[in-house]
């Protein structure tokens, strides 16, 4: 048989048979019904598939996990030659984790043809093949877009020094002899990868050959078809993306095909045509009704014995090119759009089955990942107002750093001019620092007035510039949050509406200090303690005391100075307080205002006031024992005197107790354990004792 005749025979004989019997095709259902997809020699019925998109990865159905295209699993499938192996026992179709095409996909399929034993129906004629089938069931009048990706590895499997023509995709007809000369109908389309000899080893470009239409008419004469070669159409070692737009019909005036490779329109170099009108459905010999084709992907070759692989991924079927094109772009309504403050969301065309998208800002060299086909520019802190951005989109790749592959056309989007202004992004939803309480709005050229609207403040604050120093206003408090919006005014003849812009939340610094009654004061107390203002959610208070090396850490805002050996009455102490919150509160923990505090001894104050009291020295006239005590404190020298008695804990709380009289003594009984302060007062004379109760 001559080479040309054998090549033609390969083109015609592309229906796989099991032991000489044809694999039955499923009956046709409605358009976009779930197709059946199967490897060559392996038919899986009822495969979970949404009719439009397929990932080569494990799927679950009916409580069972099945691995599509895995010849080792026998889930509801018919097999040929030892469960999907070829005749020499080697798996030809398998799922792999690398290479893969996109970010959200975790497997592709690897289809390997090894030698002349990989043939159809056991016929050893020099042809070898390994393919998968898809049965979309699209027939007369149907019109759809089909997309898939393939990779020819740049390895020894496809060496540069041999000539190899591998059919890698074909729309195939039913295996039926219908014409008088016993010719079979043939594929209305096939795509051939051509590995050319004597190329420069550094040149990875390769040609593709396309045949579309029927090569023979029903009388056996030459049919109506197109056949041409695309020079340097693809590159070995890189993913190639194919999209086909087909309208199905046996009528050549209705049926057509157009095609894109890596988003470049396929043009017949001989005629300049880019839409090809040719019949693409045959008529059944019995009913004469048009029969749907099925699709085959893989490798079909002649005269080669070297093992060769191809990788297939991202098969999709859709109603529009945008639905299947991974090189997506912004939707038409967003391309060239001037955004508004009310809506700064942009969207790209949604791609069937995509679970992630990349938005690329080439001038800023930034890629933003989104699980949805949209992003809100208002949440990107580096976006500026009144700025035009170039933006591209794609289905998310596994390699986010890739700045070139798959991005669609560039669209320009302009952010709103800051006439309706707001706080700049560095002051929106942030915590301020006490060293800088200035906030700033986006400036508006020509604006004569900025009005700052602050939550809790009755009237707006009017400024002739876009700055506001919060420290200038007595309503401003630490440890607070404020909602602030800004309205800008221009002269009326500017013709612009002066709306208040977006509200922003600011958080004042989280600071505290000693309460006002302790600050800058001289105090007399039996219990020399101080208290800071409470901060909600604070986990720690640090008291910084002049003359004391380390801060005193407390989990409450109280500090009893009498607990510390360094404390002396009649001494000025400078005290500041710093409060801490969990880090996720997002506040800056500054030390608050320094206060001066002095506690004077009551007896000294008595002397200073020159008050004459009888028996005013309680220390000399009374004795307190035992110390430590077991819960009973004796006061000797009481002698029916009018003395007021109180007990306090170290945090200043009163402690309950009982009083019993025993001769000239009184007994103080309490169940409290720990350090207590015994408070004794006789008229204006006051004395405090520290007592440990065990």
**Per the structure block, which two tokens stand in for 460?**
């707006």
Predicted local distance difference test score (pLDDT) of residue 418: 56
Burial of 365 (0-12, 13-18, 19+ CB in 10 A): exposed
Domain 623-693 has CATH 2.60.40.10: yes
Phi/psi of residue 83, nearest 5 degrees? 55, 45
Top-tier CATH class for 425-508: mainly beta
Q: Is the pLDDT of residue 5 over 60?
A: no
Q: Is the pLDDT of residue 118 over 90?
A: no
**321 compared with 89, residue with greater pLDDT:** 321
> Which range has the top average pLDDT, 61-70, 311-320, 486-495?
311-320
Q: Do domains 71-323 and 326-415 have the same CATH topology?
A: no
Q: How many CA atoms lie within 13 A of 478 on its CB side?
A: 22
Top-tier CATH class for 71-323: mainly beta
Homologous superfamily, domain 326-415: Immunoglobulins (2.60.40.10)
- Reported confidence tier of residue 463, pLDDT bands at 50, 70, 90: very high
Predicted local distance difference test score (pLDDT) of residue 620: 55
Residue from 14, 129, 19 nearest 80 by CA: 19
- The CA radius of gyration of the chain, in Å to the nearest whole number, is 43
Q: Is the pLDDT of residue 328 over 90?
A: yes
**312 compared with 27, residue with greater pLDDT:** 312
Q: Is the pLDDT of residue 221 over 70?
A: no
Q: Which helix (H) or strand (E) holds 450?
A: strand 449-454
Q: Is the pLDDT of residue 30 over 70?
A: no
CA 574 distance to own-chain centroid: 50
What are the residues whose beta carbons fall under 8 Å from the beta carbon of 34, sequence distance 6 or more?
47, 49, 50, 51
Predicted local distance difference test score (pLDDT) of residue 159: 79
Q: Mean per-residue pLDDT for 317-340?
A: 92
Task: Provide the 3-class DSSP secondary structure of residue 602.
Answer: helix
Q: Which helix (H) or strand (E) holds 82?
A: helix 81-84
Angular region, 610: left φ>0, alpha ψ -120 to 50, beta rest: left
For the chain, the structural domain boundaries read: 71-323, 326-415, 425-508, 516-601, 623-693
Predicted local distance difference test score (pLDDT) of residue 263: 92
Q: Mean per-residue pLDDT for 10-26?
A: 29
Q: Is the pLDDT of residue 572 over 70?
A: yes
- Distance, first Cα to last Cα, the chain: 113
Cα gap 85→42, rounded to integer Å: 9
> Which range has the top average pLDDT, 240-254, 330-344, 579-593?
240-254
- Reported confidence tier of residue 638, pLDDT bands at 50, 70, 90: low
Top-tier CATH class for 516-601: mainly beta
Cα gap 325→567, rounded to integer Å: 78
| Mean pLDDT score across all residues of the chain | 74
**80 compared with 598, residue with greater pLDDT:** 598
Residue from 276, 278, 285, 354 nearest 314 by CA: 354
**575 compared with 429, residue with greater pLDDT:** 575
Q: Mean per-residue pLDDT for 517-535?
A: 77
- Reported confidence tier of residue 590, pLDDT bands at 50, 70, 90: low
Q: Mean per-residue pLDDT for 226-233?
A: 92
* Count of Cβ atoms closer than 10 Å to residue 162 Cβ: 11
**327 compared with 590, residue with greater pLDDT:** 327
Please report the DSSP string for 381-409 in residue order.
Answer: TT--TT-EEEEEEEEPPS-TT-SSTT---
Q: Do residues 276 and 256 lie in contact, with contact meaning Cβ atoms separated by under 8 Å?
A: yes
Q: Mean per-residue pLDDT for 144-157?
A: 90
Q: Mean per-residue pLDDT for 267-283?
A: 92
Of 98-102, 157-161, 289-293, 620-624, which range is least confident? Answer: 620-624
Q: Is the pLDDT of residue 492 over 70?
A: no
Q: Is the pLDDT of residue 316 over 50?
A: yes
pLDDT digits (tens, 9 = 90+) for 531-564: 888 776 678 888 999 988 888 988 888 888 877 8
Residue from 492, 386, 503 nearest 447 by CA: 492
């Amino acid at each position: 048989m001559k080479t040309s005749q054998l090549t033609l025979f390969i083109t015609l004989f592309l229906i796989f048979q099991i032991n000489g019997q044809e694999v039955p095709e499923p009956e046709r259902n409605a358009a976009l019904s779930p197709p059946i997809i199967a490897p060559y020699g392996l038919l899986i019925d009822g495969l979970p598939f949404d009719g439009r998109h397929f990932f080569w990865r494990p799927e679950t159905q009916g409580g069972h996990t099945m691995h599509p295209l895995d010849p080792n699993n026998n889930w509801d499938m018919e097999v040929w030659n030892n469960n999907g192996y070829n005749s020499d026992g080697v798996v030809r179709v398998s799922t792999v984790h690398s290479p893969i095409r996109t970010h959200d996909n975790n497997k592709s399929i690897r289809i390997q043809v090894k030698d002349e034993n990989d043939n159809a129906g056991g016929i050893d004629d020099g042809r070898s093949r390994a393919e998968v089938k898809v049965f979309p069931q699209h027939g007369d009048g149907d019109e759809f877009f089909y997309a898939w990706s393939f990779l020819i590895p740049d390895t020894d499997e496809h060496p540069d020094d041999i000539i190899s023509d591998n059919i890698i995709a074909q729309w195939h007809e039913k295996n039926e002899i219908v014409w008088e000369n016993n010719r079979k109908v043939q594929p209305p389309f096939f795509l051939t990868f051509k590995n050319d000899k004597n190329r420069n080893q550094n040149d990875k470009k390769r040609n593709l050959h396309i045949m579309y239409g029927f090569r023979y008419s029903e009388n056996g004469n030459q049919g109506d078809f197109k056949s041409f070669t695309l020079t340097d159409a693809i590159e070995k070692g890189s993913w190639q993306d194919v999209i086909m737009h087909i309208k199905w019909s046996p009528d050549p005036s209705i049926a057509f095909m157009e095609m894109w490779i890596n988003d470049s329109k396929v043009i017949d170099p001989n005629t300049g045509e880019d839409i090809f009108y040719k019949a693409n459905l045959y008529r059944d010999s019995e009913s004469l009704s048009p029969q749907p084709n099925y699709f085959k992907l893989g490798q079909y070759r002649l005269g080669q014995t070297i093992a060769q692989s191809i990788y297939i991924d991202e098969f999709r079927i859709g109603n529009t090119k945008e639905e299947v094109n991974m090189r997506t772009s912004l939707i038409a309504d967003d391309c060239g759009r001037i955004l508004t403050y009310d809506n700064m969301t942009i969207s790209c065309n949604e791609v069937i089955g995509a679970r992630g998208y990349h938005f690329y800002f080439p001038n800023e060299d930034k890629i933003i990942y989104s699980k949805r086909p949209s992003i809100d520019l208002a949440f990107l802190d580096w976006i500026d107002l009144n700025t035009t951005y170039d933006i591209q989109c794609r289905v998310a790749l596994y390699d986010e750093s890739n700045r070139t592959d798959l991005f669609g056309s560039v669209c320009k989007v302009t952010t709103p001019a800051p006439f309706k202004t707001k706080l700049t992004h560095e002051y929106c939803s942030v915590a301020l620092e006490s060293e800088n309480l200035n906030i700033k709005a986006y400036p508006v050229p020509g604006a004569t007035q900025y009005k700052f609207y602050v939550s809790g403040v009755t009237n707006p604050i009017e400024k002739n510039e876009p700055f506001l120093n919060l420290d200038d206003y007595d309503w401003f408090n630490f440890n607070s949050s404020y909602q602030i919006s800004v309205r800008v005014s221009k002269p009326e003849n500017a013709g612009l509406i002066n709306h208040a812009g977006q509200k922003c939340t600011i958080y004042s610094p989280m600071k505290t200090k000693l309460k006002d009654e302790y600050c800058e004061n001289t105090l007399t107390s039996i219990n020399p303690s101080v208290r800071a203002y409470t901060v909600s959610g604070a986990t720690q208070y640090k008291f910084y005391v002049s003359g004391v090396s380390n801060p005193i850490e407390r989990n409450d805002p109280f500090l009893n100075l009498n607990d510390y050996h360094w404390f002396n009455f009649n001494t000025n102490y400078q005290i500041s307080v710093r409060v801490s919150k969990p880090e996720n509160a997002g506040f800056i923990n500054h030390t608050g205002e320094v206060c001066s505090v002095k506690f004077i001894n009551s007896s000294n104050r008595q002397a200073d006031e020159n008050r004459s009291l009888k028996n005013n020295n309680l220390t000399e006239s009374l004795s307190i024992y035992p110390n430590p005590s077991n819960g009973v404190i004796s006061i000797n020298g009481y002698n029916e005197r009018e003395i007021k008695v109180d007990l306090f804990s170290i945090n200043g709380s009163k402690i309950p107790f009982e009083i019993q009289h025993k001769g000239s003594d009184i007994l103080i009984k309490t169940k409290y354990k720990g350090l207590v302060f015994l408070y004794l007062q006789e008229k204006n004379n006051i004395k405090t004792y520290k007592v440990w109760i065990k």
